[in-house]
Amino acid sequence: MYLSIIRDAAAGALFAGLFSYSASLYSTNQNYLKLTAFLWGVPLLFFYILFIAFKSAGKEAAYDVSTHGLLGISVTLFAIIVTILIMNLENNTIIAINVFILTTAIAVYTYLGVYNISFPSIQINTTPLKNNK
């Protein structure tokens, strides 16, 4: 179990390191930062977390990862739209507003215990989700 956690943490650190490195190359070529933003926006990390959920706990866990990830993406989409709309403000103000959105979303999510909620599954067919590993 601990080896799996260490392996997953190392892969996560590798992702973070690659994002940081490509973002730092902005002064060399502005396209690196754009590519980094695109890769962050594409569900690259989602597929990795989904893989871990399937591997460790099956379809039900993968469904929970998907629904709660959708909640997080909704907050992210809101923050991006707000950021685009307030781009004429000072940089520090834009960052402060984004930090406020982030901390408010995390506080509401944890204070209300949204993480305890299992949303009803939307099923295409009549077969319920099975916990296939």
With 0.85 as the threshold, say if the pTM is over it. Answer: no
Write out the DSSP string of the chain.
-HHHHHHHHHHHHHHHHHHHHHHHGGGT-HHHHHHHHHHHHTTHHHHHHHHHHHHHH-HHHHHHHHHHHHHHHHHHHHHHHHHHHTTTS-HHHHHHHHHHHHHHHHHHHHHTTGGG--PPP--SSSSPP----
Share of the chain above pLDDT 70, in %: 89
pLDDT per residue as tens digits for the range 32-68: 778 777 877 777 778 888 888 888 888 888 888 888 9
